[in-house]
Amino acid sequence: MGKSRVFLIIGIVMLAVMILFVAYALQHPEGYFAGGYKIALPIYFIYLVTTIGMFALYRAAARKLR
């Protein structure tokens, strides 16, 4: 399995986890993040950027193989 495939699988798994988390959060509005929004929002942003980065790395690695 090449690097590009690994990046793709990680990106897909991260996207699936994000979708499941959002679905759970919408069903349970009483839940909260212990650190508050000032900590939660940067963590969510980093996660989103990392997920997008995995797809970008996949695309870059796939182009190198051509």
Q: What pTM, to 2 d.p., does this model score? A: 0.84
Q: Who has greater pLDDT, 32 or 19? A: 19
Q: What residues does each domain of the chain span?
A: 3-65
In the prediction, which pLDDT does 57 show?
94
Length of the chain: 66
In the prediction, which pLDDT does 46 show?
97
In the prediction, which pLDDT does 31 show?
81
Q: How many CA atoms lie within 13 A of 59 on its CB side?
A: 6
Can you tell me whether residue 37 is helix, strand or coil? helix
CA distance 21 to 19: 5
pLDDT in tens, 30-61: 888 788 888 989 999 999 999 999 999 999 99
Q: For the CA atoms of 43, 26, 18, 41, what is the dihedral angle to 10 degrees?
A: -10
In the prediction, which pLDDT does 32 show?
80
